[in-house]
């Protein structure tokens, strides 16, 4: 493949081709995303299966028999929600550990650890004979997610040529969406397999975990990570291999430079609290809050439950979830195509308006037509499904992928792994909050939950408009000079840092 990537505009011309090897590395690493997506998608289906409920959550199953009691509250059970959300809590803790492994041992071993955690977790959940085994399995899967989500986006951003970084990084999100979609399909078919369909569904995650484990043997370590750990010659070799050109000196020098600065920072977490780290730090954390408070996971985890709640039969509910899965995958390609062309900001702003309109329409229909115990009429139910799909589309090319891309590309090397770990753990925390609270919120707020998410979408749209700068095409180690220093708001922290350094030099 000989797509020569030349940097344009104000970016320095680091020479690079889009090599086959980089493509292979991207695909293999992104299997980490596929497992994450599979875990997201599988929970909703499994928790809707009677065999599973009868075995582990008999009281929920009892309640489900009286479906007509209340539309919005039938599955509201903290224990059931704990099954879904325990994974995210574990991932939250694991991402800090993963960050240390990522810096000390490299991105590649961190991915290998992830696949091992996944494999043990799959064994325990699919083979569970009691709830303890099930929850421990979920926690190990969570460790896999914490390690995978820490290493993969960083890996992708570091091996990609600057001009293609956005698109290549979004391959991670693409695999997340493929994972969710496959899980939806698996849910659909295993729901009819009695009594062990749920074991097959949970066991399916072993396949991508094995691919990640063996695949990771052939991918390279990132040049940045090698040079950071003083393996300069290996780093140079790796850079030459992934860029597919001989003349890599300029980029090599830029990485060495970044590593020198990074080596002076002994405690990256302390450095994160310094003013100069504030822009990527604040944006990285808020992006996670916003990504989750778009309400996407209310749909992803609980799509079958949600569709059942608004009056679809259980089969139709799973099928609708499969349809949203396909839309999610296809729309991510739009993100891959546009992110390095229109840039990040355009996607964030466009989708805020787009998602807001969808949430409002869904909320209004449910408020008007779905009483507490009634069901939606066919036409209204169809409109709800259509707007859920249109909403998923908007998320899939914006807040979904950019929630991972922007924090992986905006921290300087000295705080990259630590800063990204904080972002990953924030993501897991807010995912946990939604997973744990959504069914109760649905029960308490009813259709109001859609207006709640709408309000958040307005806030995030405004935040993106004023505070998220464009990072398209800017080399990863040049953000400070090219992005933060010229920004109307964030520059104050950069100037404060410059003053501080001047004073330090003088004294």
CB 136 within 8 A of CB 125: no
**Binding segment toward ligand BGC, per CB under 6 A, in 198-206, 268-276, 290-298, 347-355:** 290-298
Of 128-136, 223-231, 295-303, 358-366: span binding ligand BGC (CB under 6 A): 295-303
What are residue 3's phi and psi, to 5 degrees?
-85, 110
Closer of 60 and 405 to ligand BGC (Cβ):
405
Say if residues 145 and 36 touch (Cβ distance below 8 Å). Answer: yes
CB of 396 to ligand BGC, least distance (A): 6
Question: Which residue of the chain is nearest ligand BGC when measured via CB?
Answer: 400
Examine residue 296 and tell whether it contacts ligand BGC (CB under 6 A): yes
Find the helix or strand (DSSP H, E) in which 174 lies: helix 165-190
Given a contact cutoff of 8 angstroms between Cβ atoms, the answer to whether 310 and 376 are in contact is yes
Smallest separation, CB 140 to ligand BGC (Å): 19
- If the CB atoms of residues 102 and 393 are measured against ligand BGC, the closer one turns out to be 393
Stretch near ligand BGC under the rule CB under 6 A, chosen from 189-197, 270-278, 293-301, 406-414: 293-301
Q: Which structure tokens are listed for 294?
A: 């778009």
Question: Smaller CB distance to ligand BGC: residue 106 or 419?
Answer: 419
- Three-state secondary structure call for residue 74: coil
Residue 110 makes contact with ligand BGC by CB under 6 A: no
Q: Which range, of 152-160, 182-190, 294-302, 353-361, touches ligand BGC by CB under 6 A?
A: 294-302
- 431 belongs to the binding site for ligand BGC (CB under 6 A): yes
Q: Is 351 in the site for ligand BGC (CB under 6 A)?
A: no
170 near ligand BGC, rule: CB under 6 A: no
Cβ nearer to ligand BGC, comparing 40 with 348: 40
Asked if residue 177 binds ligand BGC (CB under 6 A), the reply is yes
- Range in contact with ligand BGC (rule: CB under 6 A) among 115-123, 173-181, 304-312, 454-462: 173-181
Number of H helices, E strands in the chain: 24, 2
Cα–Cα nearest to 202, from 148, 124, 267, 117: 124
Size of the site for ligand BGC (CB under 6 A): 14
Of positions 90, 238, 300, 366, contacts ligand BGC by CB under 6 A: 300
Contact indicator for 317, 308 with CB cutoff of 8 Å: yes
Which CB atom, from 93 or from 245, has the smaller least distance to ligand BGC? 93
**Under rule CB under 6 A, which residues in 32-71 are in contact with ligand BGC?**
40
Q: Which of residues 376-405 bind ligand BGC (CB under 6 A)?
A: 400, 403
HSE-CB at 275 with a 13 A cutoff on CA atoms is 14
**Residue 97, number of CB atoms within 10 A of its CB:** 16
For 298-332, give one letter per residue: b (16+ CB within 10 A) or e. bbbbbbbbbbbbbbbebeebbbbbbbbbebbbebb
Give me the DSSP letters along 436-479.
HHHHHHHHHHTTHHHHHHHHHHHHHHHHHHHH----TT--GGGH
Q: Measured between alpha carbons, how far is 302 from 45 in angstroms, rounded to an integer?
A: 8
Q: What does the binding site for ligand BGC look like in residue numbers (CB under 6 A)?
A: 40, 173, 176-177, 180, 291, 296-297, 300, 328, 400, 403, 427, 431
């Amino acid at each position: 493949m000989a797509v020569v990537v030349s940097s344009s505009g104000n970016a320095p011309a680091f020479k690079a081709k889009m090599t086959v090897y980089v493509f292979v590395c991207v695909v293999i690493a992104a299997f980490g995303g596929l497992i994450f997506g599979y875990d997201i998608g599988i929970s909703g289906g499994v928790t809707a299966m009677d065999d599973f409920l009868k075995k582990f959550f008999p009281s929920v199953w009892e309640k489900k028999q009286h479906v007509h009691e209340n539309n919005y509250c039938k599955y509201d059970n903290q224990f059931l929600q704990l099954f879904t959300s325990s994974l995210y809590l574990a991932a939250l803790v694991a991402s800090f550990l993963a960050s240390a492994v990522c810096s000390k041992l490299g991105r590649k071993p961190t991915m290998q650890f992830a696949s091992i955690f996944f494999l043990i977790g799959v064994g325990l959940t699919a083979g569970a004979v009691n709830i303890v085994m099930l929850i421990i399995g979920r926690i190990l899967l969570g460790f896999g997610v914490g390690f995978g989500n820490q290493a993969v986006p960083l890996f992708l951003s570091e091996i990609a040529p600057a001009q293609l970084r956005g698109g290549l990084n979004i391959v991670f999100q693409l695999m997340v969406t493929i994972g969710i979609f496959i899980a939806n399909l698996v849910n659909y078919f295993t729901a009819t397999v009695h009594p062990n369909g749920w074991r097959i569904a949970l066991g399916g995650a072993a396949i991508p975990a094995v691919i990640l484990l063996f695949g990771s043997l052939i991918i390279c370590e990132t040049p940045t990570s090698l040079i950071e750990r003083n393996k300069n010659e290996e780093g140079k070799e790796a850079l030459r291999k992934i860029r597919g050109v001989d003349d890599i000196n300029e980029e090599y020098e830029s990485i060495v430079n970044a590593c020198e600065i990074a080596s002076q920072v002994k405690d990256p977490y302390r450095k994160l609290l310094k003013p100069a780290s504030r822009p990527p730090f604040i944006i990285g954390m808020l992006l996670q809050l916003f990504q989750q408070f778009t309400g996407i996971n209310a749909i992803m985890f609980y799509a079958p439950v949600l569709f059942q709640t608004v009056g679809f039969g259980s089969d139709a509910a799973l099928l609708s979830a499969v349809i949203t899965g396909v839309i999610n995958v296809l729309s991510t390609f739009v993100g891959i195509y546009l992110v390095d062309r229109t840039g990040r900001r355009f996607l964030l702003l466009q989708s805020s308006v787009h998602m807001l309109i969808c949430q409002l329409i869904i909320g209004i229909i449910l408020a008007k037509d779905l009483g507490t115990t009634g069901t939606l009429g066919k036409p209204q139910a169809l409109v709800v499904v259509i707007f859920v799909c249109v909403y998923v589309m908007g998320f899939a090319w914006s807040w979904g992928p950019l929630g991972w891309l922007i924090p992986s590309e905006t921290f300087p090397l000295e705080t990259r792994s630590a800063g990204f770990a904080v972002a990953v753990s924030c993501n897991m925390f807010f995912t946990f909050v939604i997973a744990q609270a959504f069914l109760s919120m649905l029960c308490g707020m009813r259709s109001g939950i859609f207006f709640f998410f709408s309000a958040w979408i307005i806030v995030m749209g405004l935040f993106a408009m004023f505070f998220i700068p464009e990072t398209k095409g800017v080399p990863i180690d040049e953000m400070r000079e090219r992005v933060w220093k010229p920004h109307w708001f964030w520059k104050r922290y950069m100037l404060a840092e410059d003053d501080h350094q001047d004073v330090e030099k003088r004294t």
